Amino acid sequence: MSTVAMFVHPERPQAIALGETIRHWLDKRGHIVLDSPASDNSIDLVVSIGGDGTVLRSARLAVDSDADVLGINLGEMGYLAEVEPDSWEVALESYFAGSHLIQERMLVASRVDDGPLLHRALNEVVIEKQAVGHTIRLSVHIDGAFFTSYVADGLIVATPTGSTAYSLSARGPIVDPSHQALIMTPVSPHSLFDRSLVLRPDSTIEITLSGGRDAALSIDGQRETEVAVGQKVTVTASQQPARFAHLGGRTFHQVLKAKFGLSDR
């Protein structure tokens, strides 16, 4: 018997209906079913029903419980939610039979100045402008040494998992999610140096908003807080990874090929 938390996209009728079906299936087999993850280390599995955005939110919560995440894809891309809606029963049976692998994916943690609140992201942390038509100035230190200043729309620090998200649209590299790395990519910089940096996972990146107007700190696409001129955002790898249940389906490279429509020749 396992304790399973359901994390369902609240605005998709198909997700809500499928969630009820899966809840009934789990109940019949004696599993304890909760409405959402909780940070009490009592959850074995989080079933996420929606798109990749739903998986992002559920995975960040699952980390606190050291729970596995199984994503059922009702979205478009499906990088993270690898189970299709018509395969959920086979997937859950395989999981409870132990016929799965656990793939750990790194998260990044960030804080503003020396504040105690850590914002964790599975995809990326972004410091970005708020005012249309204005840039911001960001001074970057890596492992305590000054690197450079960017006048740009923003700066992305992504994980390998996030390398196929916002970072990719800013011309960042695609990195296999099994790797450990911090990927720093400027957004529309006013500079000849507009390349990404792939840094060691134990690097510390300090980003100071040194000019322009106030900015926003976004975590996995959701704005978390405002960053005022003079404040510093510190980004490091999180000590706790997210644990994804992998059922031996398509590899990352096969998913990438399918999503981008790459040919067979």
Annotated catalytic residue, options 52, 68, 153, 220: 52
Tokens 């606190």 belong to which residue?
Answer: 64
Taking a C-beta distance cutoff of 8 angstroms, is the pair 106, 59 a contact?
no
Active site residue 194: no
d(CA 235, CA 224): 15
- What are the backbone angles phi and psi of residue 26, rounded to the nearest 5°? -70, -40
- What are the backbone angles phi and psi of residue 81, rounded to the nearest 5°? -90, 95
Q: Residue 140 corresponds to which amino acid?
A: V
Start-to-end CA distance of the chain, whole Å, equals 47
Q: How far is CA 154 from CA 11, 158, 189, in A?
A: 30, 13, 8
Q: How far is CA 14 from CA 50, 74, 147, in A?
A: 9, 8, 48
Residues acting as catalytic residues = 52
